[in-house]
């Protein structure tokens, strides 16, 4: 019993570390594409590059096995002529053009921030059974979640939950790596 | 753009017979990932709407954190030069 959960935890930790490594590798590769680029003059553009490349790297670390990652990569290619989404290891040149175009355009790249409309809940009557209120809440929040998770709009409820699980794990890996990088860079110019 | 490719969901039955148990199981896994704000509410019954709400809030806070970290890393970008010591360190990180 104990050994079961311990080995499970160990495996999860190994998976986590593997994910972080994959993400870091791909991300640095993408960032290196821009070392000599003079196009990224402004701080805003540089930040957009970091965010966009981090997202693409994170998504491609999944190797196309999850829908959120495919949707994320697809949206990175949205403005490019070549509409075929592909993993970063295959299409770095195309990705490069697409990212450059996205970053130097006036449109700011928005993360899907779950911009749900604040629809008022019609709870005026006190005759509404609790179960239907609960159902409505679940429906409303499911809708919200669908907007937040990339590609969520086209998922059924069960896929939505499992995709969300994977998405959260990936986001945490991304944050871990970025935090380590911030720590590193802060301690290098000593 | 949003393809309707079906996932390899061999562990789940046909979509018309997805049981509440499976959803509850997924929801509880999700709940385990969320930061535990309400420790005293460890009821065995998972409130779906609560989990969904906490999930949305959590993902949004994760997004904000990535945004903040990206901001701070903007300085770093200028130094990712092939010959810089920073690049060497990053390289050694990856090539372990």
Domain map (residue ranges) of chain B: 17-94
Q: What confidence score (pLDDT) does residue A98 get?
A: 66
- CA of A145: which chain B residue's CA is closest? B56
Q: What confidence score (pLDDT) does residue A95 get?
A: 61
Q: What confidence score (pLDDT) does residue B27 get?
A: 81
- Measured between beta carbons, which residues in chain B are less than 8 angstroms from residue A175? 62, 65-66, 69
Q: What confidence score (pLDDT) does residue A25 get?
A: 83
**Partner-chain contact A148 B59, CB within 8 Å:** yes
The distance of A136 to chain B (nearest Cα, Å) reads: 9
Domain map (residue ranges) of chain A: 19-90+137-189
* Cα gap B45→B24, rounded to integer Å: 9
**Partner-chain contact A178 B69, CB within 8 Å:** yes
What would the mean pLDDT of B68-93 be, rounded to a whole number? Answer: 66
Token pair 């509410």 is at which residue? Answer: B41
* Cα gap B43→B38, rounded to integer Å: 11
Write down the ipTM of this complex: 0.70
pLDDT tens profile B23-77:
778 888 888 888 765 555 555 566 788 888 888 999 999 999 999 998 888 766 5
Q: What confidence score (pLDDT) does residue A38 get?
A: 54
The distance of B76 to chain A (nearest Cα, Å) reads: 6
| Average pLDDT along chain A, 190 residues, taken 10 residues at a time | 72 83 84 60 76 88 87 76 42 61 54 40 61 86 90 87 91 91 69
Q: Which of residues 29-88 of B touch A (CB under 8 A)?
A: 29-30, 33, 48-49, 52-53, 55-56, 58-60, 62-63, 65-67, 69-82, 85-86
**Partner-chain contact B59 A165, CB within 8 Å:** no
Q: Are A114 and A148 in contact (CB under 8 A)?
A: yes
Q: What confidence score (pLDDT) does residue A171 get?
A: 93
Q: What confidence score (pLDDT) does residue B8 get?
A: 45
Q: How many CB atoms lie within 10 A of CB A38?
A: 6
Token pair 């590059």 is at which residue? Answer: A49
Asked if B23 reaches chain A (Cβ–Cβ under 8 Å), the answer is: yes
CA separation, residue A179 to residues A20, A37, A68, A184 (Å): 12, 25, 23, 9
């Amino acid at each position: 019993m104990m050994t079961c959960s311990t080995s499970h935890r160990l495996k999860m930790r190994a998976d986590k570390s593997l994910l972080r490594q994959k993400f870091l590798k791909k991300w640095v590769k993408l960032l290196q594409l821009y070392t000599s680029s003079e196009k990224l003059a402004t701080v805003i553009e540089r930040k957009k590059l970091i965010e966009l490349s981090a997202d693409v790297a994170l998504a491609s670390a999944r190797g196309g096995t999850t829908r959120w990652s495919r949707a994320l990569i697809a949206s990175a290619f949205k403005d490019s002529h070549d509409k075929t989404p592909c993993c970063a290891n295959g299409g770095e040149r195309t990705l490069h053009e697409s990212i450059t175009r996205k970053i130097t355009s006036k449109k700011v790249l928005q993360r899907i921030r779950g911009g749900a409309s604040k629809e008022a809940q019609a709870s005026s009557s006190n005759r509404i059974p609790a179960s239907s209120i609960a159902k409505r809440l679940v429906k409303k929040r499911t809708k919200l979640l669908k907007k937040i998770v990339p590609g969520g709009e086209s998922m059924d409820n069960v896929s939505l939950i499992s995709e969300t699980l994977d998405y959260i794990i990936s986001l945490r890996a991304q944050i871990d790596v970025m935090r380590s990088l911030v720590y590193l860079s802060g301690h290098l110019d000593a | 753009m949003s393809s309707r490719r079906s996932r390899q969901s061999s562990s789940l039955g046909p979509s018309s017979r997805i049981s509440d148990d499976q959803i509850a199981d997924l929801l509880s896994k999700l709940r385990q990932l969320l930061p535990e704000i309400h420790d005293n509410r460890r009821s065995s019954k998972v409130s779906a709407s609560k989990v969904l709400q906490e999930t949305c809030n959590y993902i949004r806070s994760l997004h904000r954190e990535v945004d903040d970290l990206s901001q701070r890393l903007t300085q770093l970008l200028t130094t990712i030069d092939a010959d810089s010591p920073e690049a060497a360190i990053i390289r050694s990180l990856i090539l372990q």
